[in-house]
Structure 1
Amino acid sequence: MRRLLRYPVRLVPVGFLVAILLGTGLLMLPQAAVEHEYTPFTTALFTATSAVSVTGMSVVDTHTYWNGFGLVLITVLTQVGGLGILTGAALVILLVARQLGLRNRLLVQAETTEYGIGNVRALLLRIAVIALVCEAVITLVLAGRLWLTYDYPLGRALWYGLFHAVQAFNNGGFSLYPDSLIRFARDAWICLPVAAGTIVGGLGFPAIFDAARTWRRPSRWGVATKLTVWGSLALLVVGFAGLLATEWANTRTVGSYGWSGKVLAVATQSAVLRTGGFQMINMAELDEESYPLLIALMFIGGGSASTAGGIKVGTFFLLAFVIWAQLRGEPDVTVGSRRVAGASQRQGLTVALLSVALVVAGTTVLIGLAEDVRDYRVLFEVVSAFSTTGVTAGLAAHLNDAGQFVLIALMYVGRVGPLTLGSAIALNTRRRLYRYPEEQPIVS
């Protein structure tokens, strides 16, 4: 207990577990379901885990299974999960900074600028303000569109706007429509606010604060901000171009749309795919050529200290720079005019390899549990759960309880694992007073 209190960040998994169990108990109540019957434990646990981990994956039809109380509860759990992740990540950075030596503390302070080591209240306030302002703006735009164009009553339009705004910013992905948001795939007033909210929530507060502070001079951004912002932009372009090319003629998805509809639907889907769980395109009807690209994008995920999952954009591109330096025979890994510390390289490699191991293990187990399913959909579902993306190819709802428990575990580990692992690695960093003789093993 003393060790836990010394490093409170290690209580993060416990806090998320308590929220999940509390949400499960409330969702099991008859008052939460349309039929006013007790919800099975597995269904309630799956939904609560998906909400708190801001995944958005579901094994029931959200719009028909849960009543008003259940939907409000899902909204609250998503908001708690999203803000909990952001504030938890902020406190982790502050805690890690306090536990490191002076040199490393100054490095952390340089990355987080004035929002860094000591100003906890201002940091958390800015996080809350960004979240609430973004959600309010998205709510108003969506509600206005539903009210003025689709003739929704004002109260219903506001509720639908608020629900999807919370899901968008927190990268949740639950929807009140049976087809997610496919019916709005060619409506820019719906697609663009959802995509914008998902992108902002998926960047992470360190990148947002740093970029906003020096937006006129991107060259002064920190390494983490450069990797996150420019990496996210590159992935958006790659995802858009790749998905548009593979699905252009697929009449089951966007093939029957006009060129403008295809561009809007694919652009929005590529924006929300890595982090959010909304579907602008029916994932169960994709051409097989699309799955590898989408799996890779989901696995990478969003920015560090954000509501997004995955191994993180910064980690992926940091490892890309490591590979590039090695191929060129460079002694140091540099990003811009900064040399990347060896500890950061090892941390990125650790997170990536452990994530690959978890995905492989989850896929292997799920293949054994899924009946007559041996295609990309199993890997797609596993990566979607682990990366807390939440898009589904239709497999999750047809799994038995054992298969659903596998996805539940992946969602939980995928949400709290990288945060806890990263902080634990940083907190356990220590300097030895001696070094062993160096030897270079054969690598081939």
Structure 2
Amino acid sequence: MRLLPLAFLTLILAGTLLLLLPFAREGEQDPSFMDAFFTSTSAVTVTGLATVDTGTYWSIIGQAIILVLVEIGGIGIIAMTTVLGLFVGGRLGLRTRLAAQTDMHVVSLGDVGPLFKRVAFTTLVFQGVTAAILTWRYYTGYFDSFAYSLWHGIFDAVMAFNNAGFSLHPDSLTSYAGDYAVILPISVAVFAGGVGFPVLAELYQEWRSPKTWTIHTRLTVWGSLALLAIASAMFVLVEWNNSATIGDLSPIDKLVTGIEGGIMTRSGGLASFDWGAVEPVTLNTAIIMMFIGGGSASTAGGIKVTTFLLLGYVILAELRGEEQVRIGSRAINPRTIRTALSIALIAVGLVTGGAMALMMVANTAYADSLFESASAFGTVGLSTGLTPELNIPGQLVLIVLMFIGRVGTITAASAFVLRRRQSRYHLPEEQPIIG
């Protein structure tokens, strides 16, 4: 259980040291420690929150360091090491398999090797195709230099698939608002990266037969689509006449931006409008979506779609008076239910506690604090503009939330699953008053 947090922490510290090097900063001034530490944490946890402008503060070398940190953090340190070991040596030791199994939520040890090969292939395909489309669009519509367009295309493709909200523009995707050739490829890459590698692998083989999908894939796919539809519809309806966001766009541009808003709140973190100008209802909807997050074993954060939907089935079973929680023709193990409930309650405490901490140490408004806290814990990267204005204690609060949001939920879930002791006796039961 200690391997994964230590690996992420080591990478964060290594990234901080690299970003502190003089050539990582644009201009003659050396990078500050807090800017380097915050950026490295945000990159490794594939969040995208930033205290400085990525495109102007960091040099091309600094941007490349951020890209590599996001790539490793997105796939997972253990996953990346396993993939390299597979291609170099072709074999995996038992300890490496167990660590990889914990990181990627693989059910069977025998599935670890084949899964990671598919992970590497899937990552290269999605990022390569997205980068090619974006490079073409940037070169033909925005930039005169092909090299400049290529770098922007690669950077945005990596950020999109890894659900990291870093952008080389200070206004994220606002410069491309309404451009389908930019917004749609990025949104598709974000959605694909957010459903999880096990789901993508299963869809690759069984996409024509939804009835044969596992419960995990069914919950992730249908749940993700349903949440996307709800979030997009809410965004379009509420923001339709808001001139500060999408009010001045054409109807079709409003719909495209609405889809983008529904996808990015799940963990993407990129935006073609100002989240600080949205209506309160939209802000609250985004907080809920960021809290839920994406699929398990994905580049997304949050409590995960399966956790959220499983708790919904628990409530449904309780309302029906059923002893077992059933999804389709399968019953869910009570231990799995306890794990889901524990993760959800821990997450509620972290997000609300983080918001209160921001209000106390940085004197911030409640709505902005809760939004930023949910964004950090959900490793989303969206911001109302609060993060660059935070003092050092406020930045440290977000650093802790980002780290726990990326590593803590995985570690907690694995700990709940692995630390199962067979009790040799049963205590007398007592039923307290509930409700």
1:130-179 Cα deviation digits (max 9, x unpaired): 01111000000000111122243211111110000000001111101111
Give SS of 1:79's match: helix
Conserved in 2, the CA contact under 8 Å of 1:29 and 1:37? no
Match of residue 428, structure 2, among 437, 441, 444: 437
| Moved >4 Å (runs of 4+) | 88-94, 96-99
Match of residue 150, structure 2, among 158, 161, 164: 158
Structure-2 change in CA distance of 1:36 and 1:92 (3 Å): farther
In structure 2, distance between residues paired with 1:327 and 1:380: 32
Residue identity matched to 1:427: L
1:57-79 Cα deviation digits (max 9, x unpaired): 10111111011110011101111
2:212 is the counterpart of 1:220 = yes
Conserved in 2, the CA contact under 8 Å of 1:377 and 1:395? yes
In structure 1, distance between residues paired with 2:377 and 2:192: 21
Query: Shift of the alpha carbon at 1:400?
Result: 0.6
Residue identity matched to 1:340: I
Aligned to 2:131: 139
Conserved in 2, the CA contact under 8 Å of 1:86 and 1:127? no
Aligned to 2:340: 348
Any stretches of 5+ residues in structure 2 without a counterpart?
Answer: 83-93
Residue identity matched to 2:410: L
Give SS of 2:280's match: coil
Any stretches of 5+ residues in structure 1 without a counterpart?
Answer: 1-8, 100-107
Aligned to 2:91: none
2:385 is the counterpart of 1:382 = no
Residue identity matched to 1:134: F
Structure-2 change in CA distance of 1:327 and 1:88 (3 Å): farther
Aligned to 2:90: none
Aligned to 1:416: 407
Residue identity matched to 2:392: D
Query: Shift of the alpha carbon at 1:238?
Result: 0.4
In structure 1, distance between residues paired with 2:314 and 2:293: 19
Aligned to 1:104: none
In structure 2, distance between residues paired with 1:169 and 1:78: 10
1:195-232 Cα deviation digits (max 9, x unpaired): 11111111111222223222122121111111111110
Give SS of 1:289's match: helix
Match of residue 249, structure 1, among 238, 241, 245: 241
Count of matched residue positions in the alignment of Structure 1 and Structure 2: 422
Match of residue 349, structure 2, among 349, 357, 372: 357
Structure-2 change in CA distance of 1:97 and 1:150 (3 Å): closer
> Which region of structure 1 is more displaced relative to structure 2, 53-62 or 177-186?
177-186
Residue identity matched to 2:339: Q
In structure 2, distance between residues paired with 1:401 and 1:97: 35
Query: Shift of the alpha carbon at 1:291?
Result: 1.1
Match of residue 79, structure 1, among 71, 79, 87: 71
Give SS of 1:37's match: coil
Match of residue 260, structure 1, among 252, 273, 287: 252
Identity, in percent, stands at 43
Conserved in 2, the CA contact under 8 Å of 1:85 and 1:305? no
So what's the TM-score if we normalise by structure 2? 0.93
In structure 1, distance between residues paired with 2:246 and 2:160: 22
Conserved in 2, the CA contact under 8 Å of 1:61 and 1:178? yes
Structure-2 change in CA distance of 1:19 and 1:375 (3 Å): same
2:185 is the counterpart of 1:193 = yes
> Which region of structure 1 is more displaced relative to structure 2, 145-154 or 380-389?
145-154
Match of residue 95, structure 1, among 95, 98, 103: 98
Give SS of 1:274's match: helix
